[in-house]
Amino acid sequence: MWMIYTIGFIVALGLSLALTPLVKKFAFKVGAVDVPNARKVHTKIMPRLGGLGIYLSFIVAFLLIVWFVPDSFSAREVNFIKAFLVGGTMTVLLGALDDRFDLPAKLKFVVQIATACVVVFGFDVRLEFANIPFHTYASIESWIAIPFTILWIVGVTNAINLIDGLDGLAAGVSGIAIATIAVMAFIMGNVVVALMSLLLLGSILGFLHFNFHPAKIFMGDSGALFLGFCLALLSLLGFKQVAIVSFLTPLILIGVPLSDTMFAIIRRWMQKKPIFSPDKGHLHHCLRELGFSHRQTVLIIYGIAAFFGVLAVIQSSAAVYNANWVTFVVICVMVFFLQIGAEVIGLIGKTKRPVLDFLARLRMKVGEERGSK
């Protein structure tokens, strides 16, 4: 199997390197381009549709693997693969149309819900078991599992789109998360998830060659939505075959886009702005304001994503052995660094620093007590 994994990864990488320049020409030909404005970093017209190159590379590589290694999946795995391919195709088509025609947000949202419903009801793919921290494995009732799964798919699909603001940012963060999923799949012995994750990783890395700063092509919604959909299924539903899923693990996997989205909602609510209104308060915007260059900002966020990836692996390993104390430590570490990082960077607001202010007052009080002695 190691040979299959390696060949699949190399094939996907090679296809992505070969197809992305062709997709770039196609994007210019059909007018799928990104025009600069006040909120965007780039200063010239850029081709979108880069996600189409990622998708095609993944699909072709997967079909080649299936062609040479037939009848290697169980009926349940085949059902999951079908759901993944059908939902992924619907998502990338939606994104490609949006890259060209700038579809209304409400229409995209409706189609995303429809796609999630196709996955859940058409292929009966949903969360079934969960390892709840400080609890035993529990079966989840359908009336909870169905809406939760639909909400998860739609939410994660859009989360990646929110961080697609700098060259190579969304692709790199997605690649780190998918690489983490591959590691956990190997640990759990989940062949399908491991294979599909490596094929996706190869496709992403090939595209990243053209997307890292200075970018020659953007992934567009076709890429951001497709990768978000892939992460949604692989991080949550892909592990149901072994029934070892902690509610915390998939949340950690998408820690960067999820936390950025959460802080954006809090920030806009505190500023009494519409939750879905665009602003320049996202993580990459704040890092740029602190004086970091384009590349430095992207690499810093890569490091944050890798940190979340390590926590996810630790948490998933702890879930296997029901080591609840590890879960507790992971939660504390994650929450502490999220809050401190958000206050230092200014994700919520430049003046909203409750923890840092408390620590400053505490340090001042300790200093006064020492001085009085």
Q: Is the pLDDT of residue 236 over 80?
A: no
Q: What is the pLDDT of residue 243?
A: 37
DSSP annotation of 140 reads P
Instruction: Find the mean pLDDT for residues 109-122.
Output: 96
The span from the CA of 100 to the CA of 34, in Å, is 9
* Residue 278 amino acid letter: P
- 110-114, 305-309, 339-343: which range is least confident on average? 339-343
- 18-32, 36-50, 206-220, 309-323: which range is least confident on average? 309-323
- 14-23, 102-111, 142-151: which range is least confident on average? 142-151
Q: What is the pLDDT of residue 241?
A: 41
The span from the CA of 113 to the CA of 258, in Å, is 19
Answer for the pair 119, 153: CB distance below 8 angstroms, yes or no: yes
Q: Is the peptide bond before 214 cis (omega within 30 degrees of 0)?
A: yes
Q: What is the pLDDT of residue 28?
A: 96
Tens of pLDDT, residues 206-226: 999 999 988 999 999 999 999
Query: Residue 242 in 3-state DSSP?
Result: coil
Tens of pLDDT, residues 196-206: 999 999 999 99
Q: What is the pLDDT of residue 22?
A: 97
Please state, as a whole number, how many other Cβ atoms lie within 10 Å of the Cβ of residue 30: 13
Mean pLDDT, the chain, integer: 82
Tokens of 216: 């020659």
Q: DSSP assignment of 115-127, as one string? A: HHHIIIIIH----
Instruction: Find the mean pLDDT for residues 216-237.
Output: 91
Answer for the pair 47, 222: CB distance below 8 angstroms, yes or no: no
The span from the CA of 49 to the CA of 219, in Å, is 6
Given pLDDT bands bounded at 50, 70 and 90, which one contains residue 244? Answer: very low
DSSP annotation of 134 reads T
* Residue 99 amino acid letter: D
Torsion, Cα 314 316 322 324, to 10 degrees, reads 50
Given pLDDT bands bounded at 50, 70 and 90, which one contains residue 102? Answer: very high
The span from the CA of 22 to the CA of 24, in Å, is 5
Please state, as a whole number, how many other Cβ atoms lie within 10 Å of the Cβ of residue 69: 14
The residue among 93 and 324 whose pLDDT is bigger is: 93
The span from the CA of 57 to the CA of 55, in Å, is 5
Q: What is the pLDDT of residue 245?
A: 43
Given pLDDT bands bounded at 50, 70 and 90, which one contains residue 298? Answer: very high
Tens of pLDDT, residues 310-348: 888 887 776 555 556 676 777 788 778 777 877 777 666
Q: Is the pLDDT of residue 138 over 60?
A: no
Given pLDDT bands bounded at 50, 70 and 90, which one contains residue 123? Answer: very high
The residue among 94 and 241 whose pLDDT is bigger is: 94
Ranked by mean pLDDT, the top range of 24-38, 86-100, 136-150, 180-194 is 86-100
Q: Smallest Cα–Cα separation from 87: which of 23, 174, 153?
A: 153
Q: Is the pLDDT of residue 69 over 50?
A: yes
The span from the CA of 309 to the CA of 256, in Å, is 10
Element (H, E) at 74: none
Instruction: Find the mean pLDDT for residues 126-136.
Output: 56
Q: What is the pLDDT of residue 34?
A: 87
Q: What is the pLDDT of residue 198?
A: 96
The residue among 20 and 244 whose pLDDT is bigger is: 20
Answer for the pair 51, 221: CB distance below 8 angstroms, yes or no: yes
Instruction: Find the mean pLDDT for residues 61-89.
Output: 88
Q: Is the pLDDT of residue 67 over 60?
A: yes
Q: Is the pLDDT of residue 267 over 70?
A: yes
Distances (CA, A) of 22 to 16, 194, 215: 10, 28, 15
Tens of pLDDT, residues 344-371: 776 666 666 777 777 777 777 777 767 6
The span from the CA of 74 to the CA of 311, in Å, is 31
Q: DSSP assignment of 166-188, as one string? A: STTHHHHHHHHHHHHHHHHHHHH
Q: What is the pLDDT of residue 185?
A: 85
Query: Residue 333 in 3-state DSSP?
Result: helix
- Bridge partner list, 106: none
Instruction: Find the mean pLDDT for residues 244-260.
Output: 66
* Residue 44 amino acid letter: K
**% of the chain residues with pLDDT over 70:** 81
